[in-house]
Amino acid sequence: MDAPVGYRVRVAVEAGTLPVRYQDVARIAYGGMGDVYRATDTLLGRLVAVKLLSLRYATDGEIRKRFTREALAAARLSAHPSIVTIYDIGETGDRPFIVMEYIAEGSLADALRLGAQSPHRALAWLESVADALDFAHAHGVVHRDVKPANILLDEHDSVHVADFGVASAAGLDSFTQTGTILGTAGYLAPEQAQGRKAGPEADRYALGVVAFELLTGARPFESDSPTAEAAAHVSSPVPSISSHGLGIPREADDVFRHALAKDPSKRFRSCAEFIAALRDVYANSEEQTRILPLAPAGVAPARRLPLVLGLIALLLAAGAVAAVALTGGHSKDSSTPPVTVRERGTTVTTPGTTVRETVTAQPPPSTTQPAASSLTSGVSLANEGYAKLQAGDAAGALPLLQQAAQKLQGTGSLSEAYNDYNLAVALIRTQGCSTEVLQLLDASQAIQGHRKEIDDLRKSCTPGNHGKKAGAHSDHGGD
């Protein structure tokens, strides 16, 4: 369900909502499909997330059976490290529930509130989700509601797919009633929007939409009207992803035309095949491998350090903010849980479910960035510093870049990464190599990933070169 920011809302609930085994119960998410509660499983001594089917569906005996059947099918997938573990299934007061691991670090929907993600981070997430979906398809399970809110993040920045089959269990995996549409119309495959049966191809299509959104900060057919957006999936041509800028290679347009083909038979044969094609585009693109020694601090391709700074001011004005770039891995310990495959030590986030809306539904509330003002001022200073650096005025650039570093510190954005690099250049040119320079390069690489430009600058600051200042050969601008 489309829940508030990743299980972070806690609402006290009356005693007896769940079986007595579950104590300290608090509602943490809600939606059209039902509510999600955080609770302590007193029998096994762990925090869990419990999804309780809404009364509006629980009164239908057939839906209750489907809900349980789908939950049992999804439980078979719990062995996969990128799929949320299901611990138990039961009923309370004639309402079926599913007990899952609890992950409290948010979802990709939360991450997208910061705008487009770096290709490095997005592709790592997409690769894990693709593997999870392909695993599910190999076991005969189709998700039918793949969307950022159902892809959860743990404390290691690893993803976990939640809510397999829940939409299908309630009969909500397509337009099933005249005048109503799914709240997740933005991710519906054309066949779902037309009320046809959704198979693995629908999940692959939805993954393509999620990938488009992670790389651009917007869905391909985004609209204030869910009905219009769903209709666009059926009839509108796939928009060019490279036209969004952000250093997305032109070759990616063909990849997304394939991934978002109207005809299911023309899409990639697996999720893994789609992500491999996307990775190849970034790996082989001349645009991504071109080396330029200096970079403005704006939003640019995440694998390309030097580029145009002024873009970020425009993007920020439109509400797009540079994304946090973190990496990490997470492996799950295993034991034997009640109804399923195994218990994992680290626990989950916000399983969302599908929310139904009428065609007269109002557009969702806008998500403004609380940090946008600080980030914008930091980028503005970084812009000025970069301009002076390009003009050969390293001494004039230095204080501006230092002020920008203070503003951008801790944002984890590409702007911070680029500014750290440019500040290192300014320091070398004015004061020579130092420990501070090396620390700045390390900080830039921690966000941006491995870059030849960073390596080259770091090599120029080897012990034998300490105290030397960078020469004019380093002074080249972006394109």
Question: Which residues are identified as catalytic?
Answer: 145
What are the φ/ψ torsions at residue 51 (nearest 5 degrees)? -100, 120
- Residue 208: count of CB within 10 angstroms of its CB: 29
At 203, list the tokens.
Answer: 């999940």
Beta strands in 32-101 (DSSP E): 34-41, 46-53, 86-92, 95-101
Dist CA 133 CA 342 (whole Å): 19
Sign of the alpha-carbon torsion through 47, 49, 55, 57: negative
Interaxial angle between packed helices 119-138 and 200-216, expressed in degrees from 0 to 180 and rounded to the nearest 10: 170
The distance in angstroms from the start CA to the end CA of the chain is 44
Dist CA 142 CA 351 (whole Å): 16
At 95, list the tokens.
Answer: 């309402």
Dist CA 410 CA 113 (whole Å): 17
Contact 333, 344 (CB under 8 A): yes
CA 284 from chain centre, in angstroms, equals: 24
Dist CA 362 CA 263 (whole Å): 31
